[in-house]
Structure 1
Amino acid sequence: MLSQTSNVKRALRAELRERRRNRTSTERGAATDAFTQNLMALTTEHGAKLVACYLSAPTEPNTRPYLNWAFANGVRTLFPITREDGLLDWAQGDGQTEAVGLFGMPEPVGELLGPIAINDVDLIIIPAAAVDSTGMRLGWGRGYFDKTLGSMQKCPPVYAVIYDDELMDSVPREVHDQPVDGVVTPTRILTF
């Protein structure tokens, strides 16, 4: 039986997914340029030499131009690889070759480094459906990033990439949910 919070989360995710699907290609293109500039600024500001970042799905804020910049500027990147046990492996990837992973998400092709590889990164950039004003993140419901962040002994700064209208006053929260340190939107970098 699903809890009341789970039902509220599911309804909110459906609404946010629909909102993302309805964005025009012009809106997405303008947002991509802005996301890229803000992600570059965030990486530079933190002096990050090794970043964990996801490969965006078609309706997510596009991380690829940022990843191309990172690759061209010597910022190494680890990408999440979903596992059936609910954990994330990490791979470096070549920045070009992708495969479809578990749940249909894009993943890099590269040597698997195992779940603890993320402990060496300087900055973590993760997807989100929404984030609230306290930094509580609503993910897409599988809990991979919550498990990863919750298990790290020393966690570097974690930023979620969302559209401006996905920053909310509050999002439903359950015990396992992990907050983020900030968000990157097309118009700003916000640290909580």
Structure 2
Amino acid sequence: MNSDPSHQKRALRAELRERRRNMTALEKDVATDGLTGHLIELVSGLNARSISCYLPTPNEPNTRPFLNWAQDHDIRVLFPISREDGLLDWTVGGPGAETDGLFGTPEPRGDLLGPIAINDVDLIIVPAASVGRDGLRMGWGRGYFDKTLGSMDRRPPVFAVIFDHELVDSVPRELHDQPVDGVVTPGGVIPF
């Protein structure tokens, strides 16, 4: 086996993508129900009034029912907007039009608030490919969230959203990788 973490990550990402693609509609629905309840539990437990979260792609854990709940409960949600320079802009989400971002990921349309807008949230919810029990998050390889989290002086709690089987003993580590404070899965909220 290759000991280069970037090669290990590439192989693991391919395996995880395939496993997500092979989930049945019923498995995805059950996962969405559990995930929604646990995200609500996390936000309510932290009394978060302003959060950041992402719009999911078809194979990611579905955050949309949770986002609908957040909107119905007047929780301000910032959504990431990918930039070509590797940074994230943010916009306040709401019902309405979406567009495909730089890499085909769904992004809401709205006024861009700039990279520092993330500094004002109470909770950051990020996507992930996998997370180790030590809190190390492995993303999908573009480094946007690692750059964002690594540049923050004071970070609010950061939780990654993954399927239950994507919480593993450890993931390959590179110097730029940023840890998270916990994960939210269909099976529960697990703080580290």
- Secondary structure (helix, strand or coil) at the match of 1:141 reads coil
- Output the amino acid matched with 1:25: A
Give the Å deviation of 1:4.
1.2
Give the Å deviation of 1:97.
1.9
Unaligned runs of 5+ in 2: none
Distance 1:190 1:96 in 2: 32
- Secondary structure (helix, strand or coil) at the match of 1:104 reads coil
Structure 1 counterpart of 2:104 = 104
Distance 1:146 1:177 in 2: 6
How many matched pairs?
191
Distance 2:43 2:133 in 1: 22
- Output the amino acid matched with 1:153: D
Distance 2:42 2:93 in 1: 22
Structure 2 counterpart of 1:79 = 79
Distance 1:97 1:165 in 2: 33
Give the Å deviation of 1:3.
7.9
Residues 79-158 of structure 1 aligned to structure 2 (within 5 Å): 79-158=79-158
Distance 1:20 1:83 in 2: 26
Q: Percent identity?
A: 64
- Secondary structure (helix, strand or coil) at the match of 2:51 reads strand
Task: Find runs of 4+ consecutive structure 1 residues off by over 2 angstroms.
Answer: none
Distance 2:94 2:40 in 1: 19
Distance 2:114 2:181 in 1: 24
Question: Do the aligned partners of 1:67 and 1:95 also contact (CA within 8 Å) in 2?
Answer: no
Give the Å deviation of 1:96.
3.0
Structure 1 counterpart of 2:172 = 172
Structure 2 counterpart of 1:45 = 45
Q: Deviations over 1:77-103 (max 9, x none)?
A: 000000000000000022332110100
Question: Do the aligned partners of 1:5 and 1:173 also contact (CA within 8 Å) in 2?
Answer: yes
Distance 1:182 1:98 in 2: 29
Normalised to the residue count of structure 2, the TM-score between the two structures is 0.98
Residues 56-71 of structure 1 aligned to structure 2 (within 5 Å): 56-71=56-71
- Secondary structure (helix, strand or coil) at the match of 2:90 reads strand
Normalised to the residue count of structure 1, the TM-score between the two structures is 0.98
